[in-house]
Amino acid sequence: MSFLQRYFSKVNERERSSAAIAHLAALDAIHEQDPEIAKSIVQELRDQRSRLKLIASENYSSLSVQLAMGNWMTDKYSEGSVGHRFYAGCGNVDRIEGEGMRLAQKIFGADHAYLQPHSGADANLVAFWSILVQKIENPAVERLGKKNLGELSAAEYEEVRKLLSSQRVMGLGLGSGGHLTHGYRYNISSKMMQSESYEVDERGFIDYAALAKQVREFRPLILIAGYSSYPRRIDFAKMREIADSVGAVLLVDMAHFAGLVAGGVFDGVYHPVPFADIVTTTTHKTLRGPRGGMILCKTPYRAAVDKGCPLVLGGPLPHVLAAKALALKEVDTGSFKQYAAQVVANAQALAEAFLRNGVKLSTGGTDNHLIVIDTASSFHLTGRQAETLLYDAHLTVNRNAIPRDPERPWITSGIRLGTPALTTLGMKEKEMAEIAAIITGLLREAKPGFEEGKPSPSKAEVDGVLLDKMRMRIRELLSHFPLYPELSID
Ligand code: DSN
């Protein structure tokens, strides 16, 4: 029997959901073409349903957002920007992208929104490039008495190119919770410009006074504020002041906390848009949309940002633009505000429960959607050992460096946990306490596993009875919060 036939035989007419029907019909169509691919798609749903998703950068998008990506919009080329395309026939993409931009500008109070980046890393690349064009390239071309790059001689162009690559960028170090794209040595961002990181203090916090001093010494063109695993808010008014002290551009990467800004949890000095020149984000984390990126900018950067495609990025993904617009529509509701507030309440409840159990957290807690557990100090386990064991017990978390981590990035001494996905399922503070108890109960009893007769930095084991007991507790918990209950796939 097909997925669709099974659905119609199970669900009565009143309970039918058009999104569920569409998904099941799509699975049938995929199954006809390639049963193996259909099987993996279905298995992914089963896996996500059977595990507690605690990866801080993941969420569950709505079935409608997913469906907006699964259609013929993918077949259209639309390089350029709304109303200014390099291909004929972009009217529908223009309407979709224009609506997404309008919503993003309204939700975040931004001068301008650019929805085309395929990811947060791509958004950062476009942002860097736009800042370099606006602040360095355009004035250099003007100084040479020329109108544009095309008029420069080869020697003049080389002069401008060298000037671009001698610019400086400063972001939070990877080990302090920053992101690879914020100037990490192995990333393209540190090859485009000279890069220096700032780090958190002994307690794991950003020290604004120390940062101000470092910025005055390094004098970056771009100061980046933002993180992947920093469990605190950033004061963007202070960041603006620090950037202004050397005339730097302030770039905020809000990939992790965009949903908290949109939902009104981060406001005042914690809302990046009034203070930053450019704000980049992903659309799939706390914002709960499709996988992708987005840029918000002040008017002076608009012209350069809008040329992100084709000058930095490949062709836009119109099907993803449709999903982004739809997700922004979902964000622009009162229920999203409640969701955002609950994400933080849940993270704080999780942190408090761990602290009560004597677990060591980076910065001693959280005021956003994530926590970082020092597994080495708390449980004598590497991050990777903890990650592997928890996955075995049906919890997905990721290993994460802690500040000043002595371990390699592949192993680490910590794990990062986030609440965006479980909050989407409807979990609250009570469930967070249960999850903290399960994790503590497992990690406390864990012993390093062995590989080729030696203790392995990647594996940990617990008694099989305990593991089964914890899996049962997780199954019981998840049974009250089903993922996409309208999708009758088992
Ligand atoms: N991969 C994202 C995260 O997990 O934070 C950042 O790129």
Q: Over the stretch 35-55, which tens digit does the pLDDT of each residue have?
A: 999 999 999 999 999 999 999
Q: Distance, CA 414 to ligand 1 centroid (Å)?
A: 15
Question: Which pLDDT value is given to residue 453?
Answer: 86
Q: What is the CB < 6 Å shell around ligand 1?
A: 57, 120, 179, 228
Q: Distance, CA 57 to ligand 1 centroid (Å)?
A: 6
Sequence letter at residue 231: P
What are the residues whose beta carbons fall under 8 Å from the beta carbon of 178, sequence distance 6 or more? 171, 172, 184, 197, 224, 226, 227, 228, 230
Q: Over the stretch 134-151, which tens digit does the pLDDT of each residue have?
A: 999 999 999 999 999 999
291 labelled catalytic: yes
Q: What is the token pair recorded at 242?
A: 């620090």
Q: Over the stretch 405-438, which tens digit does the pLDDT of each residue have?
A: 999 999 999 999 999 999 999 999 999 999 999 9
Cα torsion 392, 394, 396, 398 to 10°: value is -30
CA nearest ligand 1 atom 3, residue: 57
Can you tell me which atom of ligand 1 is nearest the CA of 120? 7
282 labelled catalytic: yes
**263 in Cβ contact with 339 (< 8 Å):** yes
Confidence band for 6, pLDDT divided at 50, 70 and 90 = confident
Question: Which pLDDT value is given to residue 98?
Answer: 98
Confidence band for 489, pLDDT divided at 50, 70 and 90 = confident
Question: Which pLDDT value is given to residue 14?
Answer: 75
CA nearest ligand 1 atom 6, residue: 228
199 labelled catalytic: no
Could you give all domains of the chain from N- to C-terminal order, each with its CATH number?
A: 72-331 (3.40.640.10), 341-479 (3.90.1150.10)
452 labelled catalytic: no
CA nearest ligand 1 atom 5, residue: 228
10 labelled catalytic: no
CA nearest ligand 1 atom 4, residue: 57
